[in-house]
């Protein structure tokens, strides 16, 4: 399937085609896994993130998943579940979750696209940017809990300190 770079904000395309075009236009490494799935790699503030768009045609739903390189061991899972609960209260779009098998942390957001099942460039950009921004914003929280020995509340407080100016 040919990918066309789209530069019209009002353009509409099949969801996976639109995501693939957005990734290509931004020179992000991407691979079309199937007609219904695309995987890309994005450099975030804290490392490389895997981004995955999965189209469910029968429901007209685009699942967008973003994976930081964070895994919790079995003894760490209770603290991470508590952290996820606190972090998710801060979000307007999407949510964090922990996949039980393997302890993989991820950010997930779903878009119900309706009958026409098209994704606009603005929608694609929003879902991608929100995922990367939320991973960047909360990555330190999860690291403080996993490796810094902080409680979830302490980690959130420590990570959400806003700095002013430049050093």
Please list the rounded mean pLDDT of every run of 10 residues in the chain (167 residues).
Answer: 49 91 94 96 95 94 96 95 96 94 94 84 94 96 94 89 54
Alpha-carbon span 155 to 128, nearest angstrom: 25
In a domain, 51, yes or no: yes
DSSP class of 49: E
Say how many C-beta atoms besides its own lie within 10 A of residue 27's C-beta. Answer: 7
In a domain, 157, yes or no: no
Q: What is the pLDDT of residue 158?
A: 87
Number of domains in the chain: 1
Domain of 29, CATH number, reads 3.30.1460.10
Q: What's this model's pTM, rounded to 2 decimal places?
A: 0.86
In a domain, 143, yes or no: no
Q: What is the pLDDT of residue 64?
A: 97
In a domain, 149, yes or no: no
Q: What is the pLDDT of residue 114?
A: 77
Kindly list the distances between the CA atom of residue 34 and the CA atoms of 16, 20, 24, 39, 49, in Å, as whole numbers in the listed order. Answer: 9, 12, 17, 10, 20
In a domain, 155, yes or no: no
Q: What is the pLDDT of residue 10?
A: 60
DSSP class of 45: S
Alpha-carbon span 29 to 14, nearest angstrom: 20
- State which residues form the domain around 51: 12-77+92-137
Tokens of 122: 């603005």
């Amino acid at each position: 399937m040919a990918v066309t770079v789209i530069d019209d904000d009002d353009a509409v395309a099949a969801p996976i085609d639109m995501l693939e075009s957005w990734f290509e236009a931004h020179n992000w490494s991407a691979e079309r896994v199937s007609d219904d799935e695309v995987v890309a790699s994005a450099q975030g503030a804290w490392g490389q993130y895997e981004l995955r768009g999965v189209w469910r045609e029968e429901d007209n739903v685009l699942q967008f998943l973003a994976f930081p390189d964070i895994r919790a061991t079995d003894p760490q899972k209770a603290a991470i579940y508590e952290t996820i609960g606190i972090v998710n209260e801060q979000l307007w779009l999407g949510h964090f979750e922990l996949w039980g098998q393997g302890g993989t942390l991820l950010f997930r957001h779903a878009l119900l696209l309706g009958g026409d099942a098209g994704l606009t460039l603005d929608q694609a950009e929003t879902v991608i940017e929100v995922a990367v921004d939320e991973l960047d914003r909360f990555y330190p929280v999860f690291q403080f809990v996993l490796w810094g020995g902080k409680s979830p509340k302490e980690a959130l407080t420590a990570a959400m300190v806003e700095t002013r100016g430049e050093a």
